[in-house]
Amino acid sequence: MIDYRDARPGDGEALAAMAAAAFTETFGHLYPPADLATFLDEAFGPQGLPRQIGHPDFTIRLAIEGDAIIGFAKLGPVGFPGDWPEDAIELYQLYVKASHLGAGVGPALMDWAIASARAQGASALILSVYVDNHRAKAFYARYGFVDIGRYDFPVGDTIDEDRIMRLSL
């Protein structure tokens, strides 16, 4: 049975490990090892994702099966450069372990993200997605997200093209 709850400070290490593994299994082949290691440390190391648990600017929802974190979504203030509505919220990550794709975890986390953004009075939910992640782009499009532009996403010294997508709420 899959349960859902907000992240707690004690979840930091397990959440970081799950996030790093999910990113690596999906995208790790795209990067030189040094770039991947730099990104994983910055995004999911002690000063990254674990530190954001309980931070007032971020909300992190976990999907848990047994004692294992199998997915998560993180919301916070929009970090992309540009002119965004003050009340817009960014969906920073929505990760699901490959072993649980198709089990309804992604839709449950997306439903939570949209409901949470609406409950906070947001006018828009913004995200970025790797240009060649066609599965994710189709998933977001099913929810009504539209492509509104390019974002250069750094992974170490490698710069990827991400697409910025927006859902008007």
Domain extents in the chain: 2-123
Q: Tell me, what's the pLDDT at 23?
A: 96
Task: For domain 2-123, give the CATH superfamily.
Answer: Gcn5-related N-acetyltransferase (GNAT) (3.40.630.30)
Burial label for 111, CB within 10 Å (0-12, 13-18, 19+), is middle
Answer whether 54's CB lies under 8 Å from 6's CB: no
In percent, how much of the chain has pLDDT > 90? 95
* Beta pairing partners, 167: 125
What is the average per-residue pLDDT within 89-113?
96
Please report the beta strands in the chain, taking only residues with DSSP state E, as ranges in sequence order. 2-6, 59-65, 68-77, 89-96, 124-130, 146-155, 158-168
Confidence band of 81 (pLDDT split at 50, 70, 90): confident
Please state the pTM of the whole predicted model: 0.94
Q: What is the reported pLDDT for 36? A: 96
